[in-house]
């Protein structure tokens, strides 16, 4: 099982390390391929006044410190093409945010590094169309790959070139998201799929200038995704979500994470059986 977990945004070193320490159980579990997740910048906040993070330089310094002190692999978001080289010197996975999943220059710049690439499906995207974002990575890393070669076994090629897709819900009217579980099956034809259980319960703009959400649904959606069959999970976490500086209403509390992971591991075993 792949697991991306950590705080939504880097708040300060003390909180970052406190959360990292509590996630050691995942890193030490031989059945989990664990990546510590935290953003150095939240570039798409609803309000100009909302906390964004420490920025690229300080954020990478702190993430590199976590990597050194805990031995974790690291995943973080990219927002501008110019950040790719610096990110790849520290992180193991560069994440393309959902709103930017079609941004060619951003994807190409990320693909030119040696980092793995996790592309989050836009809330507005048909899951079938995510194959074109994958192709941007693959053709950047190997220009000789043709569309017909890709179509023969796209998932295998995505694994070879280090690409994941992440489902995080789809826009449903204004201020709400839903998860179409069919998208997990569709996108898994093209690449290994990660289910983002915490952003899928988000309610964009639901708190008058901030995004709301309902984290009580996180375990239910995660278990549903496990039953469908996925390759991993994205779950932001915090020791006190109510006091976090970003996405608190969506995050799962740290003390509840381990038991949920154990349930998902059991469900994954069942889901691997052929229908």
Residue-wise pLDDT tens digits, 49-91: 889 999 999 999 999 999 999 999 999 999 999 999 999 999 9
Domain range enclosing 150: 2-271
Number of domains, the chain: 1
- What's the confidence (pLDDT) of residue 273? 73
Cα–Cα distances (Å) from 107 to 39, 98, 103, 158, 224, in that order, read: 18, 12, 6, 14, 30
- We report the CATH number of the domain holding residue 106 as 3.20.20.70
What percent of the chain stands above pLDDT 70? 99
Report whether 233 contacts 2 (CB < 8 A). Answer: yes
Tell me the pTM. Answer: 0.95
Report whether 198 contacts 235 (CB < 8 A). Answer: yes
Cα–Cα distances (Å) from 265 to 24, 89, 155, 179, 240, in that order, read: 17, 32, 22, 21, 25
Mean pLDDT of 187-214: 90
Is the pLDDT assigned to residue 244 strictly greater than 90?
yes
What is the per-residue pLDDT across 94-145, written as a single tens digit (0 to 9) for each?
999 999 999 999 999 999 999 999 999 999 999 999 999 999 999 999 999 9
Is the pLDDT assigned to residue 263 strictly greater than 80?
yes
- What's the confidence (pLDDT) of residue 48? 84
What is the per-residue pLDDT across 9-45, written as a single tens digit (0 to 9) for each?
999 999 999 999 999 999 999 999 999 999 999 888 7
Taking the C-alpha atoms of residue 185 and residue 183, their distance in angstroms, rounded to an integer, is 5
Q: What is the mean pLDDT of the chain?
A: 95
Taking the C-alpha atoms of residue 237 and residue 108, their distance in angstroms, rounded to an integer, is 30
């Amino acid at each position: 099982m792949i697991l991306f977990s950590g705080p939504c945004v880097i708040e300060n070193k003390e909180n970052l390390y406190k959360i990292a320490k509590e996630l050691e159980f995942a890193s030490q579990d031989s059945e989990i391929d664990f990546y510590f997740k935290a953003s150095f910048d939240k570039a798409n906040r609803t309000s100009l006044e909302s906390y964004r993070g420490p920025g690229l330089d300080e954020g990478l310094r702190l993430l590199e410190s976590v990597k050194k002190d805990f031995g974790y692999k690291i995943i973080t978001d990219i927002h501008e093409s110019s950040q790719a080289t610096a990110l790849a010197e520290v992180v193991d996975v560069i994440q393309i945010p959902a709103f930017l999943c079609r941004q060619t220059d951003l994807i190409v710049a990320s693909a030119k590094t040696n980092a793995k690439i996790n592309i989050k499906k836009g809330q507005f995207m048909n899951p079938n169309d995510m194959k074109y974002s994958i192709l941007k990575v693959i053709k950047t890393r190997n220009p000789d790959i043709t569309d017909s070669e890709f179509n023969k076994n796209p998932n295998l090629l995505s694994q070879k070139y280090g690409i994941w897709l992440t489902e995080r819900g789809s826009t449903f009217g204004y201020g709400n998201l839903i998860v179409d579980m069919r998208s997990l099956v569709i996108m898994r034809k093209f690449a290994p799929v990660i289910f983002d259980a915490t952003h899928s319960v988000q309610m964009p703009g639901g708190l008058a200038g901030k995004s709301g959400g309902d984290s009580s649904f996180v375990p239910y959606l995660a278990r549903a995704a496990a039953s469908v069959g996925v390759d991993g999970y994205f779950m932001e976490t915090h020791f006190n979500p109510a006091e976090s500086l970003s996405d608190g209403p969506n995050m799962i509390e740290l003390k509840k994470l381990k038991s949920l992971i154990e349930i998902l591991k059991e469900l994954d075993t069942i889901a691997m059986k052929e229908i």
